[in-house]
Amino acid sequence: MIMRKPGVVSSRALVTLVIIAVLALVPPVAATIGEGFYVDVFTRIMIFAIAALSLDIILGYGGMVSFGHAAYLGIGAYAVGILAFYGVDNGFLQFGTAILASAVAALFIGFVSLRTSGIYFIMITLAFAQMIYFLSISLNTYGGDNGLNIDRPSDFARLVNLSNATTLYYVVFAVLMLFLFLGQRLVNSRFGMVIRGAKSNERRMAAIGFPLLRYKLTAFVIAGAMCGVAGALLANQDLFVAPAVMQWTRSGEILMMVILGGMGTLVGPILGAVAFLALETVLSDLTGHWQAIMGPILVLVVLFARDGIFGLLSRIGVERSRG
């Protein structure tokens, strides 16, 4: 992250450009080969990439292992669903509410849980996410356990038509690129250095004069709000929202995407989301016990590629250019 040989920087940039190019080209390629469903598959992948990227800001840079990140996905999705339920399909209002609601939730959850660290932090974030999950089940008005259908996607003053799969795809793509760019600025800014320092050596940070809680809490809220946007997009793709969106296993999956792709890289989580969801699709076609194959793959990645798929690809790039 911080000290890196010039060759690796350029190879990382190259891998990043390739990922962006591939994602940008999915709809035309899918149309050419006549497999339109790939557009839907990759829309979903990118939505989870947004969630994973937002988690990476606090996990990979801030060292905060939140095991409840799916809660913000759920809050964002329910914000769209509940407003649509009352006939409010103005997209600006829906997405504004999704961002605000997930930010407020993150503010509250972070305020309590950031007073702890290590395993306690993991457990408290998980507990809060479970509370929100069970709250959503108890909301009978909004379908309870069965979830809530959404009649129409968000309406952005008729500027974009989100019921068109390709349009939705490029909207999600644009949001992902925007967040990647903003995230990159953020982690390299003064603020970013503070949360990285907190990950590296919290005691030292306090001794040199940083009131860390407010910086960590701010990062936590930013990440929560970003994930809320992912939730709002997910509601638009599925036109349905149910408590399952924020089940604790979902939080685990987002965590795995970050680790699989490469923590503390921002691009890594995008790769992680692609790898995880593609593997899930392929493996679950082969066998119902696909997790039995996914598990060992994750273990191997953690053991042999500490910086994830992104690190692995970047290193291959370097060796190629040398060889």
Partner 1 sequence: MAEPLLSVTGLCRHFGGVVATDNVSLTIAEGELHAIIGPNGAGKTTLVAQLMGELRPHRGTIRLGDRDVTTMPSYRRSRRGIARSFQITSIFPEFTARDNIALAVQAHAGHNFRFWRAARTDPALRKPACAILDSVGLGHRADVPAATLAHGEQRLLEIAIALAARPRLLLLDEPMAGMAPEDAARMVRFLSQLKGKITLLLIEHDMDAVFALADRITVMVYGSVIASGTPGQIRANAEVRKAYLGEDELA
Q: What is the rounded distance in angstroms from the CA atom of residue 262 to the CA atom of residue 317?
A: 16
Q: By C-beta, is 31 or 206 nearer to partner 1? A: 206
Stretch that binds partner 1, among 74-82, 111-119, 181-189, 315-323 (CB under 8 A): 181-189
CB of 183 to partner 1, least distance (A): 10
Q: By C-beta, is 92 or 111 nearer to partner 1? A: 111
Q: By C-beta, is 161 or 189 nearer to partner 1? A: 189
Does 308 contact partner 1 by CB under 8 A?
no
Binding mask 247-276 for partner 1 (x = CB under 8 A): ------------------------------
- CA-wise closest residue to 231 among 244, 218, 217: 244
Contacts of 200 (CB under 8 A, 6+ apart): 63
Q: Assess contact for 74 and 231: CB atoms under 8 A.
A: yes
CB of 79 to partner 1, least distance (A): 24
Does 107 contact partner 1 by CB under 8 A?
no
Please give the structure tokens belonging to residue 160.
């974009």
Does 117 contact partner 1 by CB under 8 A?
no
Contacts of 56 (CB under 8 A, 6+ apart): 183, 258, 263, 264, 265, 266, 268, 269
Q: By C-beta, is 148 or 266 nearer to partner 1? A: 266
Q: What is the rounded distance in angstroms from the CA atom of residue 122 to the CA atom of residue 102?
A: 19
> What residues numbered 41-60 form the site for partner 1, per CB under 8 A?
none
> What residues numbered 186-225 form the site for partner 1, per CB under 8 A?
186, 188-194, 196-197, 200-201, 203-212, 215, 218
Plot region of 150 (φ>0 → left; ψ -120 to 50 → alpha; else → beta): beta
Going from the C-alpha of 129 to that of each of 11, 284, 323, the distances in angstroms are: 38, 27, 49
What is the phi/psi pair of residue 35, to 5°? -120, 70
Q: How many residues bind partner 1 (CB under 8 A)?
A: 28
Residues that bind partner 1 (CB under 8 A): 1-3, 185-186, 188-194, 196-197, 200-201, 203-212, 215, 218
